[in-house]
């Protein structure tokens, strides 16, 4: 999850980096006028590198399809890595057997055979596979909650301090009429940087939501596929 947070922070800092830099304590300071970093920020929509996707029983969408849907391949990869931290290994065993049965065209028959093989070879029941998927969905939900908090924290950190500077600039306009042109220009620049930062953060939040939906749909599909073969626990 740290990689997701770092990417979110980088986007916010890139968007405000034209006019703001951080000191060693993480506080904002004005960038010098001749600082080479006072240049247009990187486009927030630049496509990230797309690492290889982990194999899964449900066919992953193509890179072009994910890009069209606003899915970030890096987010998808990191979310997959997060759910793989689950201690319930029944789903991993089912996945391996399901992949080994790729010659079977019917996905339902393939899932049934994989479940039967898992039970015969590893003593893994369909119920345990379902529980393992539920555990991963719980981990995925935790990643969503943590990312949402990170978005809010980064928004407050990146935009909140700049908003205070805008208010100070407005007060100076009233007090010093002779400086009004310079202060108006400063205000306009800062408001532009806020819009760029907010757009960058919102874009990455949207990419995360789309990426989350892909992984959730994969797991939900797996759960639905094996549901007919699960025997409810006797009460």
Query: pLDDT over 90 for what percent of the chain?
Result: 49
The least confident of 49-53, 84-88, 187-191 is 49-53
Q: Is 53's pLDDT higher than 60?
A: no
Structure tokens at 172: 């100076």
pLDDT digits (tens, 9 = 90+) for 76-96: 999 999 999 999 999 999 999
End-to-end CA distance of the chain: 38
Query: How confident is residue 231, by pLDDT bands cut at 50, 70 and 90?
Result: confident
For residues 31 and 23, is the Cβ–Cβ distance under 8 A?
A: no
Query: Cα separation of 182 and 176, whole Å?
Result: 10
**Would you state the pLDDT for residue 158?**
81
DSSP state of 228: G
Q: Which residue has the higher pLDDT, 104 or 19?
A: 104
181: Cα within 13 Å, side-chain hemisphere:
1
**Would you state the pLDDT for residue 62?**
62
pTM: 0.46
**Would you state the pLDDT for residue 186?**
85
Name the CA dihedral angle for 118, 119, 120, 121, rounded to a multiple of 10 degrees: 50
Query: How confident is residue 5, by pLDDT bands cut at 50, 70 and 90?
Result: low
For residues 19 and 31, is the Cβ–Cβ distance under 8 A?
A: yes
For residues 107 and 82, is the Cβ–Cβ distance under 8 A?
A: no
**Would you state the pLDDT for residue 176?**
76
Q: Is 74's pLDDT higher than 80?
A: yes
CA 208 to each of CA 109, 122, 142, 191: distance values in angstroms, whole numbers, following the listed order: 33, 36, 13, 26
For residues 56 and 221, is the Cβ–Cβ distance under 8 A?
A: no
What beta strand segments (E) does the chain contain?
A: 20-22, 28-30
Report residue 203: phi and psi, to 5°. -60, -45
CA 56 to each of CA 61, 108, 125, 213: distance values in angstroms, whole numbers, following the listed order: 11, 15, 19, 16
Query: Cα separation of 195 and 221, whole Å?
Result: 38
Q: Which residue has the higher pLDDT, 195 or 16?
A: 195
Q: Which helix (H) or strand (E) holds 72?
A: none
* CA nearest neighbour of 148 among 89, 219, 209: 209
């Amino acid at each position: 999850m740290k990689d997701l947070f770092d990417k979110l922070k980088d986007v916010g800092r890139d968007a405000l980096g034209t006019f703001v830099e951080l000191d060693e304590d993480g506080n904002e300071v004005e960038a010098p006028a001749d600082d080479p970093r006072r240049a247009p920020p990187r486009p927030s929509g630049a496509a990230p590198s797309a690492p290889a996707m982990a194999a899964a029983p449900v066919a992953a969408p193509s890179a072009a399809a994910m890009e069209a849907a606003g899915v970030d391949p890096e987010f998808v990869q990191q979310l997959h890595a997060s759910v793989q931290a689950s201690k319930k290994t029944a789903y991993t065993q089912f996945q391996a057997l399901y992949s080994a049965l790729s010659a079977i065209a019917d996905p339902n028959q393939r899932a049934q055979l994989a479940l039967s093989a898992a039970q015969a070879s590893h003593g893994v029941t369909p119920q345990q596979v379902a529980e393992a998927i539920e555990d991963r969905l719980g981990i995925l939900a935790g990643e969503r909650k943590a990312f949402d908090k990170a978005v809010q924290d980064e928004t407050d950190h990146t935009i909140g301090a700049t908003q205070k500077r805008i208010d100070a600039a407005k007060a100076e306009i009233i007090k010093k009429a002779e400086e009004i042109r310079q202060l108006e220009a400063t205000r306009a620049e800062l408001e532009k940087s806020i819009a760029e930062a907010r757009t960058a953060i919102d874009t990455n939040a949207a990419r995360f939501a789309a990426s989350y939906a892909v992984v959730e749909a994969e797991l939900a599909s797996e759960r639905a596929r094996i549901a007919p073969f699960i025997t409810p626990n006797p009460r």
